[in-house]
């Protein structure tokens, strides 16, 4: 069983996935934050590889990616960060990247590097499922899960293709658009999730726009896991040492999603 699959083994436990931009504000801070997140209740750590044209990212993550690039963070830097995290934690690690860095690095070399450095899964927002079969093949040969997206406007054909191609879990995009903090989920999200559940037994994780414990709880009531990114980056942006606030935020979210389905008194 892969580390990602193990995170979903307990069907009563809702997985918490935390996003960090690798190399922001620096490599050491990323490693420290990742270890803290895992200790504070996160089940999976998603590491974003900085890219110059992050089409799926909102302003907060775009800004962190831009600053990381200005500091010279490369794909190789991100592999080094992943290796440092893996030396101290068995938490599943997932790279979120775009197709260009993977192609530039070399598909086989990239997947081999993921396996060597302890990466368990890949999320590539600008790669439609089935468009680069050699990536799926190479990832599978190295034990790397490929995680694809379903959006609120995904067709039934797209849902079937994602269900067939995904491993580990399926990323349910809560809104049509980019990442970022939002106030509510769109009507119809539950209907999309119902459609996906009819064609796959894979866990479903909701991301894009979840920024507080209440939203996380609402998402956990619909899916098997919750993904939080922009709010974590906003905490990391603060001057001084943000780690206490980061721990408290994740602990609050963990408590909130752990009470999913429990009636309030």
What does the block give as tokens for 49? 């590889």
What does the block give as tokens for 129? 């499922």
Among the listed residues 10, 43, 46, 145, the single catalytic one is: 46
Residue 248 designated active-site: no
What does the block give as tokens for 218? 């609402």
Among the listed residues 43, 57, 136, 145, the single catalytic one is: 57
Residue 61: is the preceding peptide bond cis (ω within 30°)?
A: no
What end-to-end distance do the CA atoms of the chain give, in Å?
39
Question: Could you give the CA distance from residue 211 to residue 151 in angstroms, rounded to a whole number?
Answer: 19
Question: Could you give the CA distance from residue 145 to residue 151 in angstroms, rounded to a whole number?
Answer: 19
Question: Could you give the CA distance from residue 94 to residue 48 in angstroms, rounded to a whole number?
Answer: 8
Residue 57 designated active-site: yes
Q: Which residues are catalytic?
A: 46, 57
């Amino acid at each position: 069983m892969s580390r990602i699959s193990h995170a979903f083994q307990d069907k009563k436990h809702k997985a918490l996935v935390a996003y960090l931009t690798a190399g922001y504000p620096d490599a050491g801070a990323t490693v420290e934050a990742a270890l803290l997140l895992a200790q504070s209740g996160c089940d999976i750590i998603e590491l974003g590889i900085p890219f110059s044209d992050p089409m799926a990212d909102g302003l907060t993550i775009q800004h962190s990616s831009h600053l990381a690039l200005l500091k010279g963070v490369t794909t190789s830097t991100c592999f080094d960060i992943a290796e440092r995290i893996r030396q101290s934690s068995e938490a599943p690690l997932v790279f979120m990247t775009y197709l260009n860095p993977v192609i530039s690095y070399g598909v086989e070399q990239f997947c081999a590097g993921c396996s060597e450095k302890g990466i368990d899964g890949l999320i590539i927002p600008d790669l439609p499922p089935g468009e680069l079969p050699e990536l799926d093949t190479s990832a599978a040969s190295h034990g790397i899960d490929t995680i694809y997206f379903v959006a609120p406007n995904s067709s039934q054909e797209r849902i079937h293709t994602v269900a067939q191609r995904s491993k580990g879990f399926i990323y349910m995009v809560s809104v049509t658009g980019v990442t970022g903090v939002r106030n509510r989920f769109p009507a119809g999200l539950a209907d999309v999730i119902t459609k996906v559940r009819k064609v796959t037994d894979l866990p479903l994780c909701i991301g894009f726009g979840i920024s507080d414990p209440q939203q996380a709880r609402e998402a956990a009531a619909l899916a098997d896991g919750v993904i939080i990114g922009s709010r974590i980056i906003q905490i990391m942006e603060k001057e001084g040492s943000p780690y206490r606030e980061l721990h408290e935020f994740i602990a609050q979210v963990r408590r909130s999603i752990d009470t999913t389905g429990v009636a309030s008194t």
